[in-house]
A and B are shown apart, each in its own frame.
Chain A
Amino acid sequence: MPFIPHTEEDIQTMLASIGASSIDDLFDEIPSELKSDGLKRVPAGLNEMEISRLMLERAETDGRYLSFIGAGAYEHHIPAAVWQIATRGEFYSSYTPYQAEASQGTLQLLYEYQTIMASLTGMDVSNASMYDGASALAEAALMAVRSHKSSRRILIPSTVHPVYRSVVRAIVRNQGIEVVELPYCKQSGRTLVEALHGFGKEEFAALVIPQPNFFGVLEEVDALTDWAHGKNALAIGVVNPTALAILTPPGEWGEKGADVAVGEGQPLGIPLSSGGPYFGFMACKQALVRQMPGRIIGRTTDQDGKDGFVLTLQAREQHIRRSKATSNICTNQGLMVTAATIYMALTGPEGLRRIAGRSHANTLALLEKLETVKGVKKVFSGPLFHEAVISLPGPVEDVMRGLKARGILAGLNLEEYYPELGHAMLICATETKTSGDLDNYTKQLRDVIENP
């Protein structure tokens, strides 16, 4: 019996102590008509050797490709120490640190994480994580509505990741919150501040500001933030944490700084892994801390005066507040934050800056090379960070298929999300790509386009 240590003697001794004659007796309070007739579609068990063989075969089926897809999940080098430490049993198999005295490892690490994220985003405080970037944005929208006196409307530029926009809709829909989308400039690829002037006296709880936006283009964050504040709306930044090593942090946008910063934490040491588990981050100004959802760790002292860490502001949370909680969030992504904290300690400020810088330089270099291919053009004129939209002379699907056959994943097809852009594709080259990789991509793309 896998993972069950009982000997036959144990079973008999335990049943005798209980006063039951069989294990079945232990289920005698369950009405017999509810008892199942068995698990017919569950296969017989495998041992570890057999399941290992099966999983290795399946992993090999999936293979490895040279990938230029970004779109919210980025391939970065992950130091070996990150997951070797994060999967130590003491981190891997512990639970939410309710018993603070028995969880100081996790609690101190989370406090260090909060410190780093607050600094990286230029905010006062960070929580201990959310599920992912998209749901973090939805929670930020709810937070803005809670703290706004009268408006239940959120402005979201259409340059925000399309999936993030649909997740926000799915989560806020049942609370009577309206999502209003903003158009973007087809030349520059960014949100036009002038477009906001059309709203006149209409009220909004928040304006969402992506930096960089989904196209990789940099938004005019200062003007957007100031517009939001002029309208008495919160400014919510959606940011890439790697980019923050180079770009102005949301806390310094405009006159007063954005109020909330959220984003996808995956670039910080989390493997791509078909989409998860990742983690979302959320940081905010001090004034909003009691509106923030999720776990928050605070430093305090023990009865001997020694420093220690606890879950704090729990009165916001579902297990105390129940129906009046700031969110239903409970478990979130502790292990991923453990990995991210170790990642940031190993890279340091200069390492992260270089990772961001090299990713950016690689994408610019790739763009330059790809533009030498007939019919391939950069779509937007606005400045960008480490990701860009290109247009192709024919259907993106065909190009992607051709390149895949040559071991290359070309990028993300934008035809469905942004049909107005024609045959557009989003590409990204992080620090993991060599100049040989960029040349290879260019050569293969040329071949696929010129000799279809």
Chain B
Amino acid sequence: MLIFEHSRPGRRNYSQSPGATADVTGIPPDLMRKTPPMLPEVSEMDAVRHYTRLSQKNFSIDTQFYPLGSCTMKYNPRACNSLAMLPQFLARHPRAPESTGQGFLACMYELQEILKDVTGMAGVCLTPMAGAQGELIGIAMIRAYHESRGDSARTEIIVPDAAHGTNPATAVMCGYKVVEIATDKEGDVDMDALKAAVGPQTAGLMLTNPSTLGVFEKNVAEMSKIVHQAGGLLYYDGANLNAILGKVKPGDMGFDVIHINLHKTFSTPHGGGGPGSAPVGVAPRLLPFMPVPVVAYEDEKYRWLTEKEIPQSIGRLSAHMGNAGVLLRAYVYVRLLGAEGMHRVAEFAALNANYLMVELRKAGFELAYPTRRASHEFIVTLKDLKEKTGVTAMNVAKRLLDKGFHAPTTYFPLLVPECLLIEPAETESKETLDAFVAAMKEILEEALTQPDLVKSAPHNTPVRRLDDVKAARELDLAWKQSLTRTATESPTLNAIPTVTPS
């Protein structure tokens, strides 16, 4: 039932609105609203009950194992939330003087310095609001760098075919042409393809390492050399930084600019799809182009640097200071971990991923890259299973929901057929991983003996397979009171596979 269906005209929450005021004065009648907006008219208890019940229809890290590859669904410590929501932090206006935010800015400055160390970069800007915005800023800086040198012939960004969709979309938003290069059989970037792609037209290369295939690009140093020799710069997509946290610094791999997804590696909440936060780090040559604002510490005071101090800055990408509250959560997290705890993140992410990979192989699943170590994630391919039984990666994903596990990422990266990208994260126990393997083994048996059970999954979720084709065709995007539901049609199952990158 929708909140609107609980609504009754005239029902109000007196404790949630100011007392009656005189009529609105001073606004010309032709600028005034004629009919009230359709907000629900429900009691406070109705609203609390409705949204509490809705929450119970979600899978989440707090309730289920959530091995969504490339999304790093690790435990979000509760202290990070409660300390970022201290009343003074919440009440502070973004345009309040810096002198009223020295406690907050101290956290920001220290986070900025810690991220410099972790990434091996010369400068960090905290304000990008999501991975995709971090990418946009990073590529805009690469462009600003080339332009500042009068090097305007560079029109292309090279992106491996396994990259997140945000990479090519970002390059286009920055006015670049995208050149996609292939992956070799071992899961590394095809070096011959890279050599063939670089040239005087190359502005840069965007790379995720470890890659979305769950392996470390062994040739990264050589790739860096090839791109740099051609005059291009290297962009590091930090989506998988969790796998190498404290072990390898992107700066040491030769990257010129990076973004870090705090909602992955630094455990800030995914929130049902944001807010993210993606600080960008830069090598010395890109320092003049950093976005603003950046926190500085001078004369024992913290302050924001703006376009005045960074005149060649690519500018400002958010109205205020980015997702400040998310940055506070990340700050609490890094202080809880400390240097030692950070090393452990990558170690146990790798231990869990490699253990789960080996156990699934023993249970009869085929690995996409059987000769490789897993980074913090790995890929299972169900190509043979599909040929044998008709059961797809999507079917297995949905059947996992029945067994109380969130599904891994499906159909991404696109180059591995019928793939499941599985990332357990370091915060899961061996018992949970074993239970997941047992569930996967059951599903494999079901696929062989009663495939229809798997193909028609899920059976136990609040709704069963939803008709995506109908959703796109009939496009019901907002509830209308007058709308009468049409009689149930026979369901058409999804024609486009669900792709779930992060």
Is B18 interfacial (CB 8 A cutoff)?
yes
Residues A323 and B315 in contact in the complex (CB < 8 Å), given A105-B56, A274-B321: no
Choose the segment among A10-18, A191-199, A226-234 that binds chain B (4+ C-beta atoms closer than 8 Å). Answer: A10-18
A305–B272 Cα distance when bound, in Å, is: 25
Interface string of B441-482 (1 = CB under 8 A from A): 000000000000000101001111111101110111111000
Interface string of A57-92 (1 = CB under 8 A from B): 111111111010101110101010101010111111
- Whether A91 lies near B271 (C-beta < 8 A) is yes
Interface string of A334-368 (1 = CB under 8 A from B): 11101001101111111111111110110010000
Count of chain B residues with Cβ under 8 Å from any Cβ of A? Answer: 209
Q: Return B76 CB to nearest CB of chain A, in Å.
A: 5
Select from chain B the residue with minimum beta-carbon distance to A276: B323
- Whether A92 lies near B90 (C-beta < 8 A) is no
Is A448 interfacial (CB 8 A cutoff)?
no
Choose the segment among A178-186, A201-209, A312-320, A437-445 that binds chain B (4+ C-beta atoms closer than 8 Å). Answer: A312-320
- Whether A101 lies near B458 (C-beta < 8 A) is yes
- Whether A90 lies near B101 (C-beta < 8 A) is no
Interface string of B153-169 (1 = CB under 8 A from A): 00000000000111011
- Which residues 35-90 of B have a CB within 8 angstroms of A? 36-42, 44, 47-48, 50-52, 54-63, 66, 68, 71, 73-77, 79, 81, 83, 85-90
Choose the segment among B189-197, B226-234, B248-256 that binds chain A (4+ C-beta atoms closer than 8 Å). Answer: B248-256
A99–B32 Cα distance when bound, in Å, is: 42
- Whether B26 lies near A383 (C-beta < 8 A) is yes
Q: Return B56 CB to nearest CB of chain A, in Å.
A: 6
Is A331 interfacial (CB 8 A cutoff)?
yes
Select from chain B the residue with minimum beta-carbon distance to A274: B324
Interface string of A155-179 (1 = CB under 8 A from B): 0000001011011011101111000
Is B269 interfacial (CB 8 A cutoff)?
yes
Q: Return B79 CB to nearest CB of chain A, in Å.
A: 5
Is A393 interfacial (CB 8 A cutoff)?
no
A351–B13 Cα distance when bound, in Å, is: 7
Is A245 interfacial (CB 8 A cutoff)?
yes
- Whether A42 lies near B100 (C-beta < 8 A) is no
- Whether A92 lies near B52 (C-beta < 8 A) is no
Is B412 interfacial (CB 8 A cutoff)?
yes
- Whether B467 lies near A302 (C-beta < 8 A) is yes
Interface centre among A252, A302, A355 (most CB of B within 10 A): A302
- Whether A132 lies near B97 (C-beta < 8 A) is no
Choose the segment among B113-121, B279-287, B379-387 that binds chain A (4+ C-beta atoms closer than 8 Å). Answer: B113-121
- Whether A174 lies near B322 (C-beta < 8 A) is no
Q: Return A196 CB to nearest CB of chain B, in Å.
A: 19
Residues A384 and B21 in contact in the complex (CB < 8 Å), given A91-B271, A331-B131, A351-B13: no
Q: Return A429 CB to nearest CB of chain B, in Å.
A: 12
Q: Return A194 CB to nearest CB of chain B, in Å.
A: 18
Select from chain A the residue with minimum beta-carbon distance to B336: A2
A58–B469 Cα distance when bound, in Å, is: 52
Interface string of B402-438 (1 = CB under 8 A from A): 0000110100100000000000001111100000000
A88–B318 Cα distance when bound, in Å, is: 27
A58–B407 Cα distance when bound, in Å, is: 40
- Whether B472 lies near A313 (C-beta < 8 A) is yes
Q: Which of A62, A89, A97, A349 contacts B38 (CB 8 A)?
A: A349
Is B314 interfacial (CB 8 A cutoff)?
yes
A90–B63 Cα distance when bound, in Å, is: 7
Is A299 interfacial (CB 8 A cutoff)?
yes
Select from chain A the residue with minimum beta-carbon distance to B114: A42
- Whether B316 lies near A300 (C-beta < 8 A) is no
- Whether B175 lies near A52 (C-beta < 8 A) is no
Is B499 interfacial (CB 8 A cutoff)?
yes
| Complex contacts, B341 vs chain A, CB 8 Å | 1-3, 45
A230–B30 Cα distance when bound, in Å, is: 21
Residues A59 and B358 in contact in the complex (CB < 8 Å), given A73-B93, A91-B60, A298-B471: no
A sample of 7 inter-chain contacts (CB < 8 A) reads: A73-B93, A101-B465, A134-B319, A276-B129, A320-B165, A348-B17, A355-B17
Report, nearest first, the 3 A-B pairs whose CB atoms are least far apart: A45-B338, A89-B62, A275-B320
Q: A332-B276, A352-B17 are in contact. List 15 more A-B contacts (CB 8 A).
A: A3-B427, A31-B221, A34-B248, A39-B343, A48-B336, A61-B102, A92-B269, A101-B398, A104-B57, A112-B4, A271-B325, A274-B320, A295-B273, A320-B496, A328-B135
